[in-house]
Amino acid sequence: MKYADIMKPHTQTPQDTETGTPNISNTELFAAFAAERRQYALTYLAQKPAAIHLGDLAEYISLKENNPSYDWYQRVLVDLHHQHLPYLCDVGLVHYEEETELLELAVDRDVVSPFLELIEHAE
């Protein structure tokens, strides 16, 4: 069962019938990148060829935020689980399996790479 199925009552992102990939509007993409933790999550997921564990993502974000303590890791984990993953799943950018706590990019890296480049140049 997908994360979005658990957290929201049967909402779906419209899909391109030819490719089966979600149709994500520019507004949804900009909103996805509006939160720094979602930027970190999408950057990390775009670098990975396969699904990753939620704990690995939380650890990565803790390090990016220069606070590698266990307490901060737990805070990041909760924030991802309750705030950021539901949004990313609902718009169709991320697949999350709650039972295994595995997540992966649900779209081609080409969808998010222009936004990632903008973030990189802004830093």
Which of 17, 21, 30 has its CA nearest to residue 94? 21
**Is position 5 within any domain?**
no
pTM: 0.80
**Is position 107 within any domain?**
yes
The count of domains in the chain is 1
pLDDT at 3 over 90: no
**Is position 90 within any domain?**
yes
17 vs 53, more confident: 53
Question: CATH no. for residue 115?
Answer: 1.10.10.10
Q: List, for residues 8-22, the tens digit of each pLDDT value.
A: 333 344 444 454 556
Q: List, for residues 57-104, the tens digit of each pLDDT value.
A: 999 999 999 999 999 999 999 999 999 999 999 999 999 999 999 999
| Enclosing domain of residue 78 | 29-122
Residue with tokens 């396969």: 50
**Is position 115 within any domain?**
yes
Exposure string of 97-112, with b = 16+ CB inside 10 Å and e = fewer, is ebeebebebbbeeebb
